[in-house]
Amino acid sequence: MAQVNVSIAGRSYRIACADGEERHLEGLAASLDAKIEEMRAAFGEIGDMRLHVMAAITIADEMAETKRKLAAAEEQLSQLHSLANAGDERSQFIEARLAEGIGKAAERIERLARSLNAPAQG
């Protein structure tokens, strides 16, 4: 298990993570630190705990909005897949009808050719 040192709001923290996840964890810590600094710039010194909570709630809100947008995009994708499948089924139906029509036309042509090649009776 790997460990990384991160700095959030001027404080250092040693955090354990899975091997290979160090850079990801450092990036997350940097994002939280940036959000806290953004809140500090907007609201001033209102207390570290309050700033941390406000930053966490803001990030949670952004994540909830992202999840909502992802769910909407997944629903749209599902609808597009349904339309594509319906189009495929319709295309298959049309192709089958065309093949049937071509088959019948071929039979008629064969009958006509046979009648033209048949010896004249009479």
- Structural domain contains residue 122: no
Place 119 in a pLDDT band, splitting at 50, 70 and 90.
confident
What does the pLDDT look like over 28-42, one tens digit per residue?
999 999 999 999 999
Residue 80 CB coordination number (10 Å): 10
Q: Tell me whether residue 27 is in a domain.
A: yes
- Is residue 58 within 8 Å of 42, Cβ to Cβ? no
| Domain membership of residue 51 as a residue range | 2-117
Q: Summarize pLDDT for 44-65 with one digit per residue, the tens.
A: 888 889 999 999 999 999 999 9
Label residue 36 exposed, middle or buried (CB < 10 Å: 0-12, 13-18, 19+). Answer: buried
Q: How many domains does the chain have?
A: 1
